[in-house]
Amino acid sequence: AQSVTQLDSQVPVFEEAPVELRCNYSSSVSVYLFWYVQYPNQGLQLLLKYLSGSTLVKGINGFEAEFNKSQTSFHLRKPSVHISDTAEYFCAVSAPGGFKTIFGAGTRLFVKA
């Protein structure tokens, strides 16, 4: 079985500062990894995903994430955030051969002017 831990429930940051949202996972098999974003009063939408290949994955809106198998992590980064990045971010994991995606509890990113 897989599990996901998002290490920070809330991350406040000033506009134009860099940000990292941390995600660790556990699994006995190889996994697919995802980051989704949820803007207020909306459903989730995909930011980026790792299926295989290069461990550095680039997504929409300037976000990127790095898959680290030895540390079982998939941290999300952005070098310079905007006010519009204020949202909740979810890390998720699924396993080939399975049918379920497991979501973390979410990290609320607050970008302050």
Partner 1 sequence: NAGVTQTPKFQVLKTGQSMTLQCAQDMNHNSMYWYRQDPGMGLRLIYYSASEGTTDKGEVPNGYNVSRLNKREFSLRLESAAPSQTSVYFCASSRTSLETQYFGPGTRLLVL
- The binding site for partner 1 (CB under 8 A) comprises 6, 9, 32, 34, 41-46, 49, 90, 94-96, 98-101, 103-106
Q: Tell me the β-bridge partners of 109.
A: 11, 87
CB of residue 113 vs partner 1: minimum separation in angstroms? 26
Amino acid letter, 84: S
If the CB atoms of residues 99 and 113 are measured against partner 1, the closer one turns out to be 99
User: C-alpha angle with apex 99: 89 to 62, nearest 5 degrees?
Assistant: 25
* Cα-based torsion angle of the residue sequence 66, 42, 104, 36 in order, rounded to the nearest 10 degrees: -20
CB of residue 41 vs partner 1: minimum separation in angstroms? 8
CB of residue 20 vs partner 1: minimum separation in angstroms? 19
* Cα-based torsion angle of the residue sequence 1, 35, 55, 85 in order, rounded to the nearest 10 degrees: -160
If the CB atoms of residues 17 and 46 are measured against partner 1, the closer one turns out to be 46
If the CB atoms of residues 42 and 54 are measured against partner 1, the closer one turns out to be 42
